[in-house]
Amino acid sequence: MSERPTPTGLTIWVAGARPKTLPAAIAPVLVGTALRHRDHHGINLINAILALAVSLMLQIAVNYSNDYSDGVKGTDDNRVGPMRLVASGAASAQAVKWAAIISFLLASLFGLVLAEQVSWWLLLVGALSIAAAWNYTGGSRPYGYLGFGEISVFLFFGLVATMGSYYVQSAQISWGSFLVSIPVGALSCAILAVNNLRDLPKDALVGKRTLAVRLGDQRARYLFIGLLLTAHISALLATVLTPWAPLTLLAVPLTIRVIRRTRSGARGLDLIPVLVNVGKVQLLLSATLAFALFLL
């Protein structure tokens, strides 16, 4: 059996950005923008694009910074899943660190433009987001190594990103934006949860106590399934905002496939297709929820 070819050149940096995780950055902006249309019968296209740029660059920055921090700590050695630039030797630690810094700077630049147009308080939110992104695996006491990664993802890629996308277009925070941020955050957590489930054995060996390591294999699977169910239930609760919210049930068949695969005991490389399908669930559920909000 031939080995998978090693990416080279620009392909290395695209792989290092982990494009399969980018639905977590697109979903909150899509849903927040759709809610803005529902409440105000229109969208602020420029601010929506800027919010998407901030979200995407933060997600890419997180991926590069995690690659750098885990690589220099040695916790990415012999790990399954997407290629790690530092651990694989495909790029130097310094180069990956600079890729993260540049991504953070681009996110900050787009955020600065948004803050100038909407509110300077957004700079504080941006600073907290960057600090959370870097300290997930970076710093002397990375909270991702202590089992708090899922909480941070729910807060920043769920609540903050979705409600923020709504706020930068409407200058308001509403209970509706909180409600629709829950399925987005739950699915972003699910992406991290299945990553941590896949890496559980290796993480346990190197002392990386993710939530999956703390819970153990079986309970980590229950957590993952619970996050998927939470996403669907909370999306259906959006019926109070739009009678078309049941359109999100179109994602159920794919979710059932993911749950069955997870319950079957898939491990290691066998969980990579699960990760891919969770990304598809997030895009499909978010797209149908956004469409349901746009119909009003």
Tell me the whole-structure pTM to 2 decimals. Answer: 0.90
Domain ranges of the chain: 16-294
> pLDDT tens-digit profile of 54-89?
999 999 999 999 889 888 877 665 566 667 788 878
Give CA–CA dist 26/243, Å, rounded: 24
| pLDDT of amino acid 78 | 57
Q: Are 54 and 111 a contacting pair, CB within 8 Å?
A: yes
148 token code pair: 């708090």
30 token code pair: 């899509």
> pLDDT tens-digit profile of 134-163?
998 887 788 988 899 999 999 999 999 999
Give the range among 19-23, 50-54, 74-78, 241-245 with minimum mean pLDDT. Answer: 74-78
CATH of domain 16-294: 1.10.600
Three-class secondary structure of residue 32 per DSSP: helix
| pLDDT of amino acid 4 | 45
Contacts of 42 (CB under 8 A, 6+ apart): 36
Amino acid in the structure at residue 101: I
Q: Which is higher by pLDDT, 150 or 203?
A: 150
Task: Find the Cα–Cα–Cα–Cα dihedral 129, 279, 65, 140, rounded to 10°.
Answer: 70
Exposed, middle or buried: residue 217 (CB in 10 Å: 0-12, 13-18, 19+)? middle
